[in-house]
Amino acid sequence: MGSTLQRLEILLIGLVAKNSILLVEYTNQLRDKGMDAVSALLEAGRIRLRPILMTSVATIMGAVPVAWGVGAGSASRKPLGYAIVGGVFFSTALTLFVVPAAYLVIPALLRRGWAYRLERRRDEPITAEGD
């Protein structure tokens, strides 16, 4: 069961990474063409929504028979099916909502952090070593 869970983790991480890369890469292409960040994210989300949903729905539909658990030994496979369906659903939601938000917020936080450090350094008096 342990190796199956490790494969499930790799599946989910790979799916989230692929979907996030699709979204961010297209956003960067639109920004290179001159669009601002918000407009580029909205356009990339509109264009890339279909491929992201197609991949996620196909993965979920492939795991639904496992989650239904019909047949011999199905009781041991049901939790795996639930984990796949829930994990893919949750990871798709994260890809569609958290990744774009992070794309906008993280650069602003980084800029604010650098600006704060530079201001603080300017206000501090310069002292010679040994004073």
Q: What is the pLDDT of residues 40-49, one digit of tens each?
A: 999 999 999 9
Nearest-CA neighbor of 99 among 29, 5, 26, 11? 26
- Domains of the chain (ranges plus CATH)? 2-123 (1.20.1640.10)
Residue 64: closest CA among 82, 48, 46: 82
Burial class (CB in 10 A: 0-12, 13-18, 19+), 87: buried
What pLDDT digit, counting tens, does each position of 76-111 carry? 888 888 888 999 999 999 999 999 999 998 888 887
Q: How far apart are the first and last CA of the chain?
A: 64
Four-residue CA torsion sign, 13, 43, 56, 86: positive
Which carries the bigger pLDDT value, residue 122 or residue 55? 55
